[in-house]
Amino acid sequence: MEINKVCYRALHVPNSWTLDAYQSIGGYKVWRKILQEKTDPNKIIEQLKESGLRGRGGAGFPTATKWTFIKRDMPGQKYVVCNSDEGEPGTFKDRDIMRYNPHQLLEGIAIAGYVMGASVAYNYIRGEYREPIARMEAALAEANAARLLGKDILGSGFDMHIHNVEGAGAYICGEETALLDSLEGKKGLPRFKPPFPAAHGVYGKPTTVNNTETLASVPVILETGKYGNYKIFSVSGHVNKPGNYEVPLGITFRELLDLAGGMLDGKKLKAVIPGGSSAPVLPAEQIMDMPMDFDSLAKAGTMLGSGAVIVLNEDTCMVELLARISDFYMEESCGQCTPCREGTGWMARILHRILHGEGSKEDIDKLDSIASGIMGHTICALGDAAAMPVQSFIKHFRQEFVAKI
Amino acid sequence: MSTQLPQDITTQIDKFLAKFPDDQRQSAVISSLFVVQNNNGGWLSTELMDAVADYIGMPKIAVYEVASFYSLFDLEEVGKHKIYLCTNIACMLRGSKSIAQYLQSKLNIKFNETTADGKVTLKSAECLGACGGAPMLQLDDQYHENLTFERIDALLEELD
Ligand SMILES: Cc1cc2nc3c(=O)[nH]c(=O)nc-3n(C[C@H](O)[C@H](O)[C@H](O)COP(=O)(O)O)c2cc1C
Ligand code: FES
């Protein structure tokens, strides 16, 4: 199996984050070619469509389709926004893209700008990521100095100004419309959709928001015509070699677990959270031979999400784990929608009660009904993200909750 | 007289402002608050937030809102160093609870407290995006992964 061929293709090169290193492996070749040949944007969209690339930010929206929402010849300023907020617990892939292959992300952002006629792009990076921010800033300075970005790039008449922008510690700002508010210098509160960012984005202008991994994949996909089906899995928890693995979608969980060195201390697998902490948990017997792709996981009642695979061994207390997950969503709820603001707190309090042996029989069903009350009743998907773990933990591990009562 | 930001700070803020359209100066507020906070021993006073508001040209209340919404801004005095220990699930699965206990007893403080000598403020953080190196913490601008008690001892020893 080929691994680390797309966003991580530079990993083996010394100082892979420098312009020289990136160009030594063919970096900016696609970008130069596009500028030279003035490639028809529709052709690029066609290639992306054929590759099957789907958004890596969590929702899996087809990238080619998203890129058709904003037309190149639409008048006025348009924007590309790269979502490097990476806050879904368990996810740590974008950090390594920015640390080790920042130029490829810049190249992907520039291509997106070219296709949609957006001459300005913002890369919104979570404020804790000081090292990735420094690497992105250094790469940006190099690319600007080499005239690969900026005004009238390589004499093409095309302008592309990319700016790195920092967040300041708020999970909700990963949600694309909250991110736009944050970019405008406000609290990050999700906006009602529609209008979607493509119609009314940052500063009210047409904006395309894509995840870091999505954008960084683009140059390699266009260059090779392959790899649209590659995805980074951030494997954490009870494995011997936690880390990022960029592999073909559809490998089985068993294969992924093997890559990650197998179970820590030879313990038995109990369950897996396959797509970040909001993804419904699956017990060992259901996940072991599961193909790790969007559709198979959806069919099994969970999701690929951000590709964060959290591995749990037989000793894991599911009540304690769920209580911690619920604390997180309570803490990070922006408070705009009543079901989410109240529901996340209510669930967390009940879970801690159960954890401390003070729960009652009704509590378990109450949890389930609070979760259903949140599902689908909020402006953004944070509500769903808080509800899904609760429902799935109770569904698969009800007896553990009962035993605590 | 209201507080004025020193020139080396406004020079940095000008660089942030240049990233945004002329009529969108507010976009620079988060980055501006970071440099002001770093220049003030890690926290933001009302006077400093007011100065940022004046310089950027936005309502003071809008700056307070931002400063209180985002968790990386401190509105009260903090220790010379900040430690954010990740306590989210991937770290929890790999022992962050015992690291938390160790840190708290070694520093003789609880989360959200500052050591008596004013050296360290300890906080618990949500997932910091380094779960492959769990358990982990952020000490000022630096991540430290695969923590052990020995590693904590060394880190605290090196602190000035
Ligand atoms: C609560 C919440 C948090 C999110 N956090 C992130 C994030 O950290 N990074 C990200 O790329 N997308 C995140 N998303 C998804 C974005 O809203 C958006 O769908 C994504 O950036 C689109 O990019 P893509 O099409 O390339 O996947 C989040 C969504 C929600 C509801
Ligand atoms: S859970 Fe600790 S860094 Fe992600």
- A169/B contact by beta carbon, under 8 A: yes
Residue with the two structure tokens 């942030």: B16
A236, β-bridge pairs: A310
Q: Which of B10, B131, B103 is closest to A89 using CA atoms?
A: B131
Instruction: For chain A, positions 59-78, list CB contacts with chain B under 8 A.
Output: 77
**Residue A71 confidence class, pLDDT cut points 50, 70, 90:** confident
**Is residue A244 within 8 Å of B132, Cβ to Cβ?**
yes
Q: What is the pTM of this model?
A: 0.98
Taking 60 as the threshold, does the pLDDT of residue A194 lie above it? yes
Taking 90 as the threshold, does the pLDDT of residue B122 lie above it? yes
Looking at chain B, which residue has its C-alpha nearest residue A96?
B130
pLDDT of residue B1: 54
H/E segment holding residue A131? helix A130-145
> CA-CA distance, A328 to A188, in Å (whole number)?
17
Looking at chain B, which residue has its C-alpha nearest residue A264?
B94
Does the CB atom of residue B88 touch ligand 2 within 6 A?
A: yes
**pLDDT tens digits, residue range A213-272?**
999 999 999 999 999 999 999 999 999 999 999 999 999 999 999 999 999 999 999 999
**pLDDT tens digits, residue range A279-316?**
999 999 999 999 999 999 999 999 999 999 999 999 99
* ipTM of the modeled complex: 0.98
**Residue B160 confidence class, pLDDT cut points 50, 70, 90:** confident
Q: Which amino acid makes up residue A274?
A: P
- B15 vs chain A: nearest CA distance in angstroms? 11
Distance B149 CA to ligand 1 centre (A): 35
B143, β-bridge pairs: B138
Atom 31 (ligand 1) nearest CA: A381
**Residue B2 confidence class, pLDDT cut points 50, 70, 90:** confident
**Residue A152 confidence class, pLDDT cut points 50, 70, 90:** very high
> CA-CA distance, A174 to A74, in Å (whole number)?
27
Query: CA separation (Å) from A36 to A45, A47, A159, A225, B65?
Result: 18, 18, 14, 19, 47
- Domains defined for chain B, CATH in brackets: 7-69 (1.10.10), 81-158 (3.40.30.10)
